[in-house]
Structure 1
């Protein structure tokens, strides 16, 4: 079993009935896995974004550090070095074996993520992005912020509209909470990693976790290693890239889980050795590049459960809180920057 790749072209061009049929199919996949994959979705700039990513991560260490992210509970902006983010701290298994948001420090604090990344948002946001100079990467800022980010935002809102149709809630239920456009985009680099380090158990390219926003769009290269939790059978489903260079993975995040009172569950995912190296005791995993758009609700929007998802059989599972409060809680867990009891 694997996660199917769905042709999304009909969502913008077809009849209302065909749009609803596609929306229902996409939503059913989200109910099964918390994730799906889309092709023919309207974004064609993946080659450019990968070239831009490669240019950024080849900057000198001094140039990257000049854009460093501040490790606090606020939204991430700028460059984070290898090992900076500890995704192992944000989710843990409950007594039923299901991954839940971690509320304490009862997780292994020494697990390391072997990746580096650069996070940014649109110009004018209250949490500004420290961009590299245009001398270092000509055109990087303009293309990333002015072209690729808006394209990804548009697709994310189309997907959320499809989910609204699939859940039979009024159109705009989720997208109307996104008017301030606080989505974040991340370019991510996983350096080459000896397999023996992975086998030691303390290092993964990324530990099992859920993302924090409404949904995540994820573009990945052909290296492999991404896996999504197999809810039906246990274990993990490899998300092996198709031959389509425009393929994008879409993952349900914590905000949508809160809004639907757990009717939709977030996609638990991690990054391990690709299939070709899984049974090897030696060798080196090649470097890997991904690009993620974290589609976020307005910071002061209430992301507590919607009344229609609260019943006597499914009582309210999550508190009413703002999107920023949820975000700060999750990022604070990453960087041990939460308010202390």
Structure 2
């Protein structure tokens, strides 16, 4: 339950003197290569500032080799270049969060309970793979969040994607430790909640063919949404389209810097910090430049904790005279409500705070 559905006044009146919007750049090499305590403290402080003010971060020093990115891009290109009917053979039930999603079968804004102009209007196509139950030795899941993957017969797809998945997972865990340090809690607190996380890699292709096209309000690349989990590690083309909502209710274009990954917080991070850290609203507008559709690709790695982990506010994040902004909920319950909105068209009624921010956006 959300104890405060009021929209902050700052969302209605953006200051004319506000500083230019930018996404902070943070070097996390100290957490990747085993830096000194001082180097880690510097990185953690920079992350804390970014998480409190923007909720999006450009990270460098992540340590992912160039060949892993090249392999991922090749795998995506080879699969998405195939005919639509062949790709549809890999479509899975929405609740499994695996396999292929054709264009215009999702609406991310429904995950926030926000009505899109048309019911399922996001024109991206996607392929999802994730951690299955068999990836965790001796683990028997009590929920349906650990479906095994379906792998296309596209040559080299599985090998290239699995290689990148392992790197992105490692970066997410590096960040998780850094976030614990930034919040002044033991790293083990977060590690205990991610013994068998329901990690998912979503590979996106904005599927309108290149050329001139008139885009109306009924069609969007990916509707406004917050990510569902703890942290998202995003590889993306340096192509226009991604937009981030600032604290003044204004949308800003964002592209990854050279050799950087974009990282953003998800709902779990916002909930455990009682909104001291930001699960930032973002969307993808049609990548149109001078009237031409530009091809855009991205791959989002979602680190979402264990399905049975309880999301609850950390000690010290709620004043003694106040109630937490969110009641405890399991990761499974939270993710199910979000997926039912975006992929099954069942409006999520529990995202009151996020919905208010969308409706107040300028």
Q: Taking structure 1 as the reference length, what is the TM-score of the superposition?
A: 0.85
Work out whether residues 88 and 108 of structure 1, in 8 Å CA contact, stay in contact via their aligned partners in 2: no
How far, CA to CA, are the matches of 1:339 and 1:235 in structure 2? 24
* Paired positions, count: 313
- Superposed CA offset, 1:238-259 (max 9, x none): 21232x2x31111110111122
Instruction: Output the aligned Cα RMSD.
Output: 2.2
Work out whether residues 111 and 340 of structure 2, in 8 Å CA contact, stay in contact via their aligned partners in 1: no
Task: Give the equivalent residue in structure 1 for 2:75.
Answer: 52
Tell me the SS of whatever aligns to 2:85: helix
Work out whether residues 193 and 309 of structure 2, in 8 Å CA contact, stay in contact via their aligned partners in 1: yes
Task: Give the equivalent residue in structure 1 for 2:314.
Answer: 306
Work out whether residues 66 and 132 of structure 1, in 8 Å CA contact, stay in contact via their aligned partners in 2: no
Tell me the SS of whatever aligns to 2:119: coil
1:141 to 158, 163, 170: 158
1:268 aligns with 2:281: yes
Residue 108 of structure 1, CA deviation? 4.5
How far, CA to CA, are the matches of 2:80 and 2:93 in structure 1? 18
Unaligned runs of 5+ in 1: 92-101
1:214 to 227, 230, 234: 230
Work out whether residues 224 and 241 of structure 1, in 8 Å CA contact, stay in contact via their aligned partners in 2: no
How far, CA to CA, are the matches of 2:208 and 2:64 in structure 1? 28
Residue 313 of structure 1, CA deviation? 4.9
Task: Give the equivalent residue in structure 1 for 2:91.
Answer: 68
- Superposed CA offset, 1:217-248 (max 9, x none): 111112221111121x4312221232x2x311
1:293 aligns with 2:301: yes
Pair 1:269–1:109, CA change in 2 (3 A)? same
- Superposed CA offset, 1:91-148 (max 9, x none): 2xxxxxxxxxx3xx76645361110000011352631222212xxx222113312x21
Unaligned runs of 5+ in 2: 1-20, 136-145, 350-362
Of 248-257 and 311-320, the range deviating more from structure 2: 311-320
How far, CA to CA, are the matches of 1:316 and 1:83 in structure 2? 37
How far, CA to CA, are the matches of 1:339 and 1:250 in structure 2? 25
Task: Give the equivalent residue in structure 2 for 1:187.
Answer: 203
How far, CA to CA, are the matches of 2:165 and 2:305 in structure 1? 16
Task: Give the equivalent residue in structure 2 for 1:19.
Answer: 40
Tell me the SS of whatever aligns to 1:177: coil
